[in-house]
Amino acid sequence: MSTLRFQALKQSLNRKPVEVTEPARRSEIFGKNVFNEMAMRQYLTKDSYNSVMDAVQNGSKIDRDLADHISTGMKEWAISKGATHYTHWFQPLTGSSAEKHDAFFETTGNGSAIEKFGGGSLVQQEPDASSFPNGGIRNTFEARGYTAWDPTSPAFILGTTLCIPTVFVSYTGEALDYKVPLLRSLQILDNAATEVAKYFDKKVTKVNATLGWEQEYFLIDAALAASRPDLVMAERTLLGHAPAKGQQLDDHYFGAIPSRALNFMRELENECMLLGIPVKTRHNEVAPNQFELAPIFEEVNLAVDHNLLLMDVMDKVAERHHLKVLFHEKPFAGVNGSGKHNNWSLSTDTGVNLLSPGSTPMKNLQFLTFFVNTIKAVYDNEELIRSSIASASNDHRLGANEAPPAIISVFIGSQLTKVLDELEKVTDGKLSPQEKTDLKLNVVGKIPEILLDNTDRNRTSPFAFTGNKFEFRAVGSTANCSNPMTILNAIVAKQLQEFKVEVDALVKDEKMKKDDAIFNVLREYIKKSKKIRFEGDGYGDAWEKEAAKRGLSNNKKTPEALKVKKAEKTIKMFEELGVMNRIEMEARHEIEVEEYSMHIQIEGRILGDIARNHVIPVSIRYQNILIKNVQGLKDIYGSDFKKYASEQLVIIEDISNHIEKINKGITQMIDARRAANKIEDAEEKAFAYCNEVRPFFDEIRYHCDKLEILVDDELWPLAKYREMLFTY
């Protein structure tokens, strides 16, 4: 295997950047492979076009007769772009996208053929619902499920295939994907936010949630990645000694982008432009060979689709550049992991960002209303927010001194903290004219100038306000953004509903003016949610102790973080909102804990195989070389040989000790795994894997990494950290 490692290193060192041709203006190719408004105007009848736009803007249903016209126009457009197949592109509960390709081709029965794509094929298809994670909703013999067209996310062409974004539901109607709950949460948030926004502007008829994700990732040479079984199967290194130089000098961050990586980015961005993904920013991240790209904000549903599509495109482009993209949150120990910061905000159909202050006290009161309600929603549901970013891979990153801790807190900055402190002092009941004047001039009126100098960020905060949006920093790099966005949308919608009820009651029953009522309710929310606000360093024992005093949860591992998803309070809220029912919630919880167990199970098997099939044999081979050396010294020097072979003897003994500890650890890990596998309850099994199996990983790795230092570099079979992280 050492031959494979050095062959891979040689290939990597001999790589040349792949040439990339870029258009003079990116705007000229943006959306060329998307069935967007421009394409629809050209290929659809007026009635068909209006029907699609009405569905997008108002959620109305598309008539089946019109669907036939739409499918014909979509087919002609796709064929003109070189497409030969079509697929329903959906998001099963695997976390990635899925697709089954069908050709436009159909025989006519007289020896000839035509290209056909009817309205039925556009609107609905029937993949096997039992072959995807379903949490017991479908039995293995009950295969029927449906994908249904989502017109709010435009169709696109990937390669020679027309991809139609769809939802995925069971035969009995339960959601089997991430998109259905997301769409429901967006609708309920739109309704709740619109009603509250009308307090400030009667012209508002719709509120969109917007998302700007920041995708972090590692790039390593494909040959080096292929030489590591752990990277091939687990997308992270389960062992490997830290290099002498890591990220200590901060010399990679925002530095000049290496040529191979830059050309990868250039081609990736070209592909993104064609697919209408508005990527704008690219740069080196903190860790060696770690990078980031970020787009312009979009409506949440479209942004989620674009992020999933991007990850797929990144893999395809990387292949052409002989690179491997690692999305895992912690592919390398000892250096920073990767996140996918979700920047979330709300905007009205009148063009106003509801989380951005304005030029008048009324606009700033609107800002404070949505700002404080979001904080209150996070406080009331901090465990649920934590559950939305729980995964076996993200557990490695959260709290690892480069990412937010598992404790959910909200950072708003010192200046906005002062604003909330002032609002907390608002008189209970009707405000006097003097109080109103002081509030509007000295507190609310000064918010814009405060925010000009309050754009600092707290990198240890999982949920931070950054000027005109909230940045959910704790989302992991492998995550489907739908999960955290669905939960955030839902809890904010619930909070806004409660806010409106309280304000309306004060206006009606207490005869308060609207502003007085809003100030009174906000004051109470500020008091109640104060414990979630934290401006300090989120690392270390001090914050953990403080958070415990405040009553904040600290669910460090995925199984404990997921428990809240099956709580009666959670199920009741989602059912009342109409986002998910009990069956869908319980199914998702079961899927997520099962997925956790399977991840740990797979990693345990990989680690055991590598340690016993790669590390131990090569260590014994090197030990035999040392033994032969010692024997030779004994032949030459006789009884004095120990004087000359003392260090060799120490190394021989050390190797034996490490091999013994590795073998013992693997045996115990296998026993723990077997015991866990006998547990029938999915949640109990996840806890067993977390508490009984996973702890062996670090112990086995420790001794493997010690052997990496001891064994001759020429013999070591696995690509080393210094090679994977510093070979460009």
Cα 181 from Cα 591, distance rounded (Å)? 16
Mean pLDDT confidence for 11-17 = 89
Helix (H) / strand (E) containing 292: strand 290-295
Q: Give the residue from 306, 321, 326 showing the smallest Cα distance to 210.
A: 306
CB neighbourhood size of 14 (10 A): 8
pTM, two decimals, is 0.94
Between these two residues, 458 and 589, which has the higher pLDDT value? 589
Q: Is 256 exposed, middle or buried (0-12, 13-18, 19+ CB in 10 A)?
A: exposed
Cα 34 from Cα 163, distance rounded (Å)? 10
Mean pLDDT confidence for 67-79 = 93
Cα 547 from Cα 337, distance rounded (Å)? 24
Pick the CATH number of 595-725 from 1.20.120.1560, 3.40.50.920, 3.40.50.360, 3.40.50.300: 1.20.120.1560
pLDDT tens digits, 661-674 = 999 999 999 999 99
Rounded percentage of the chain residues whose pLDDT exceeds 90:
69
CATH superfamily of 31-175: Glutamine synthetase, N-terminal domain (3.10.20.70)
Cα 295 from Cα 318, distance rounded (Å)? 19
Cα 193 from Cα 692, distance rounded (Å)? 46
Cα 614 from Cα 616, distance rounded (Å)? 6
CB neighbourhood size of 316 (10 A): 14
pLDDT tens digits, 645-657 = 999 999 999 999 9
Q: Would the pLDDT of 142 be above 70?
A: no
pLDDT tens digits, 195-224 = 999 999 999 999 999 999 999 999 999 999
Question: Cα Rg for the chain, rounded, in angstroms?
Answer: 29
Q: Would the pLDDT of 1 be above 60?
A: no
pLDDT level of residue 421 (50, 70, 90 thresholds) = very high
Asked if residues 321 and 267 have their Cβ atoms less than 8 Å apart, the reply is yes
pLDDT of residue 62: 84
pLDDT of residue 455: 47
Domain ranges of the chain: 31-175, 187-579, 595-725
Q: Copy the structure tokens of residue 431.
A: 């405000």
pLDDT of residue 452: 52
282 beta partners: 293
pLDDT of residue 459: 66
Helix (H) / strand (E) containing 295: strand 290-295
Mean pLDDT confidence for 28-36 = 95
Q: Is 175 exposed, middle or buried (0-12, 13-18, 19+ CB in 10 A)?
A: buried
98 beta partners: 90
Q: Would the pLDDT of 684 be above 60?
A: yes
Q: Give the DSSP letter string of 572-595.
A: HHHHHHTS--HHHHHHHHHHHHHH
Q: Is 102 exposed, middle or buried (0-12, 13-18, 19+ CB in 10 A)?
A: middle
218: left (phi over 0), alpha (psi -120 to 50) or beta: beta
Mean pLDDT confidence for 403-419 = 89
Q: Give the residue from 321, 428, 327, 390 showing the smallest Cα distance to 596.
A: 390
pLDDT tens digits, 147-203 = 899 999 999 999 999 999 999 988 888 888 999 999 999 999 999 999 999 999 999
**Lowest-confidence region among 43-57, 225-239, 320-334:** 43-57
Distances 632 to 134, 246, 648 between C-alpha atoms, Å: 64, 40, 12
Helix (H) / strand (E) containing 122: helix 119-123
pLDDT level of residue 404 (50, 70, 90 thresholds) = confident
720: left (phi over 0), alpha (psi -120 to 50) or beta: beta
- Antiparallel, parallel or unpaired: β 463-465 and 470-472: antiparallel
Q: Give every CB contact of residue 398 below 8 A, 6+ residues apart in sequence.
A: 389, 404, 405, 406, 474, 556
pLDDT of residue 403: 72
Q: Copy the structure tokens of residue 186.
A: 């967006």
Asked if residues 353 and 345 have their Cβ atoms less than 8 Å apart, the reply is yes
pLDDT level of residue 24 (50, 70, 90 thresholds) = confident
Between these two residues, 350 and 415, which has the higher pLDDT value? 350
**Lowest-confidence region among 90-99, 174-183, 442-451, 519-528:** 442-451
Distances 155 to 623, 638, 640, 647, 670 between C-alpha atoms, Å: 60, 81, 80, 67, 47
Mean pLDDT confidence for 281-291 = 90
Q: Would the pLDDT of 251 be above 70?
A: no
Mean pLDDT confidence for 395-419 = 86
For residue 495, which amino acid is it? Q
Residue 316 sits at φ, ψ, to 5 deg, of -65, -45
Pick the CATH number of 187-579 from 3.40.50.2000, 3.30.390.30, 3.20.20.100, 3.30.590.10: 3.30.590.10
157 beta partners: 162
Q: Give every CB contact of residue 101 below 8 A, 6+ residues apart in sequence.
A: 85, 86, 87, 161
Cα 593 from Cα 599, distance rounded (Å)? 10
pLDDT tens digits, 268-284 = 999 999 999 999 998 89
Asked if residues 608 and 593 have their Cβ atoms less than 8 Å apart, the reply is no
Q: Would the pLDDT of 2 be above 70?
A: no
What SS3 state is found at 204?
Answer: coil
pLDDT tens digits, 503-535 = 999 999 888 899 999 999 999 999 999 999 998
* No. of helices (H) and no. of strands (E), the chain: 26, 17
Residue 658 sits at φ, ψ, to 5 deg, of -65, -40
pLDDT of residue 248: 64
